[in-house]
A and B are shown apart, each in its own frame.
Chain A
């Protein structure tokens, strides 16, 4: 198992190098210039421009700049933001918990609803319930996030007044950040009111962000379950006189989970991408909103650093998914 882990880890190295190249090149391929953007409408003299350019290191060749970026990366240094001059790593880490908290709640929402829905649809294959579940999930999958988010805000926040429109917690509470997770920090502070408020603020963004993963998980679970239900060993399980529940939840689901876990892992990348839109809609102070701001200001270090970190997280999640296969399926472990 440990060897398996090391092999998987080694396979990540070339991927990671590729990611750094893409992240480095991507922001520089965009039209626009950070110095001109900083100068604004008044413009800037050629001497001052050259001075700033050399100060920021943009006068060097791209290869040298890239190698410099790599060197910093190996030391855990992603450079400083051109706008705030704070280290990119600090900027990222201070916002990342908000995104992670939102993503985890969205994923939990997607799995808790999507998995049983998929199992139910497979068991009731061809019946009304199956068609209903699959129809609803197709609708969810096809819905643009920003539109869906606005619809929910209009219904639940504006019209019904059940949920807050934006933010992470009510202004009535101030919670000292320890982990950066509002829910955990409020529990650490022992403030139940704040905890409930944090949950309250999480509901709508989690639903919006979790809708597409939910649909994907439900559909994948259904098709995977249907495939496994036709396997010989499921017939064996029935021939043993086991209850229907046990046949489905133990013998079928366990095998069906292998492909579902893959899809759940892939959703993490999607969640971080989706978080950019969701965070913008709900003014959620996470990395999504931060990245959008950084891109519009052509803040090269922030964008390339942010991209590399997000890619790194996605890669780690996929590594965990690979390890999860081994736990679920003994054929992969050995």
Chain B
């Protein structure tokens, strides 16, 4: 039985112009101790699907799923009290903006203590000891002094370490990290990722890493979900994803990596932006930006082919880097993926 088992997750927001489907048809099944990654550009619904899992979306959101279970417990059936026991305790989350994710009115120690008190209990002294341990564990120098610090007295990297300490304080079995390094300096980014992976290995918890950085995916994850405009377009283990991207969007993301661009003068980019609420195209959502799109793609919404383990949301899934689409013939010449440069590998 998977630790986190989600099938057909959809999130719709009530807006002034009707319902907006921010996430549709996302499946994730994370086993104990696995590292997963969700990738996609901004606006792909990566965060929203995980916030929905945690039950952290505002009241304007309607969350539906065919299945949404944590360790066998149906999250949709639980009372809010039962759910709160899981959220924070067994399944915790860290966020993109560490500086604003900590409450400015309370010390770091108080905020960690509050979480331990909520889920583990123990005497004040035990909780204090545990908080000190946690701060040391996430690499904060001089924990005894830092525990009394207020969030505004710390840098972004330190704040994210505190968030991580808080998130792992109750020995969760699943940690969701929502772009944990986006707001940080490049040098700190690597440290935070290393820390997350080390903690994952030490504790054996499962980790879901939301990112838009394929480089991060290559370094960390075992399994990858690619999302585009709220749809899950592809799901593969990381090796085969990098070797054999099935969806043109995945291929385009990979080709934007400098390491894979080879000896081209310019780094390939994906033209255009993720469609928003009002400019969603008909047919396949990716068709305006897809180099292989045909008339068929513009008219008919794709469904994953039966028997496709990657559940690729495409009419013409790539086979060994070659698109069977009739439109592919024209672009094959300058297709960077067909070049032999593939330095980036997991």
By the criterion CB–CB under 8 Å, are B56 and A235 in contact? yes
Say whether B101 faces chain A, with CB atoms less than 8 Å apart.
yes
Instruction: Report chain A residues within 8 Å CB of B105.
Output: 254-255, 328-330
| Chain A residues positioned under 8 Å from B150 (CB to CB) | 330-331, 334
Q: In the complex, what distance in Å separates the CA atom of A237 from the CA atom of B84?
A: 11
- The minimal Cβ–Cβ distance linking B259 to chain A, given in whole angstroms, is 33
In the complex, which residue of chain B has the Cβ closest to the Cβ of A252?
A: B103
Chain A interface bracket (under 10, 10 to 19, 20 to 34, 35 or more): 20 to 34
Which of A13-21, A183-191, A238-246 lies on the face that meets chain B? A238-246
The answer on a CB contact under 8 Å between B104 and A233 is yes
> Does B75 count as interface, using CB distance less than 8 angstroms?
no
Kindly list chain B residues whose C-beta atoms are within 8 Å of the C-beta of A255. 103-105
Interface flag for B344 (CB, 8 Å): no
A239 lies within 8 A of B103 (CB): no
Nearest-CB residue, chain B, relative to A255: B105
Q: How many inter-chain residue pairs (CB < 8 Å) link A and B?
A: 70
Give chain A residues whose Cβ lies under 8 Å from the Cβ of B54: 239
Centre residue among B84, B103, B153 by max chain A CB count within 10 A: B103
As a 0/1 sequence over residues 211 to 253 of chain A, the CB contacts with chain B under 8 angstroms (1 = contact) are 0000000000000000000011101111111111000000100
Q: Does B100 belong to the interface (CB within 8 Å)?
A: yes
Annotate B140-170 by CB proximity to A: 1 below 8 A, 0 otherwise: 0000000000101100000000010010000
A235 → chain B closest CB, angstroms? 6
With the chains together, A275 CA to B160 CA distance in Å?
52
Q: Check if A232 sits within 8 Å of B101, measured CB to CB.
A: yes
**Nearest Cβ on chain B to A255's Cβ, whole angstroms:** 6
Identify A239's interface contact among B80, B92, B97, CB under 8 A: B92
Are the C-beta atoms of A233 and B101 separated by less than 8 Å?
A: yes
Chain A residue at minimum C-beta to C-beta distance from B112: A240
Is the CB of B277 closer than 8 A to any CB of chain A? no
Docked complex: B90-133 residues within 8 A CB-CB of A = 92-93, 95, 97, 100-105, 114-115, 118-119
- For B84, B102, B153, the residue with the greatest tally of chain A CB atoms inside 10 Å of its CB is B84
User: Is the CB–CB distance between B84 and A236 below 8 Å?
Assistant: no
Instruction: Tell me which residues across on chain B come within 8 A of A241, comparing CB atoms.
Output: 84-89, 115, 118-119
Q: Does B118 lie within 8 Å of A240, measured CB to CB?
A: yes
Given contacts A241-B118, A241-B119, A331-B152, contact A236 B103 (CB under 8 A): yes
Complex Cα gap A235–B88 (Å): 12
Query: CB-CB contacts of B205-229 with A at 8 A, as 1s and 0s?
Result: 0000000000000000000000000
How far, in angstroms, from A135 to B169 measured CA to CA in the complex?
A: 45
How far, in whole Å, are A232 and B159 apart by their CA atoms in the complex?
13
| B104 cross-chain contacts in A, Cβ below 8 A | 233, 255, 329-331
Residues of chain A from 306 to 334 with CB closer than 8 A to chain B in the complex: 328-331, 334
B103 and A330: CB pair below 8 A? no
Partner of A233, one of B80, B84, B100, B153: B100
Closest to A243 in B: B84
Query: Which single member of B55, B80, B114 contacts A240 (CB below 8 Å)?
Result: B114
- Chain A residue numbers with a CB within 8 Å of B88 are 239-242
- B266-287 at interface with A (beta carbon < 8 Å): none
Give Cα A238 to B105, complex, Å: 16
A232 touches B97 (CB 8 A): yes
Asked if A239 and B93 sit within 8 Å, CB to CB, the answer is yes
Q: Which residues of B contact A331 (CB under 8 A)?
A: 104, 150, 152
Give bound CA distance, A46 to B89, whole Å.
91
* Minimum Cβ distance to chain B for residue A250 (Å): 8
Q: Are B102 and A233 in contact (CB under 8 A)?
A: yes
Which 6 residue pairs across A and B have the least CB separation, nearest first? A241-B88, A232-B100, A233-B103, A241-B84, A240-B88, A241-B87
Residues in A lying within 8 Å of B, measured CB to CB: 231-233, 235-244, 251, 254-255, 328-331, 334
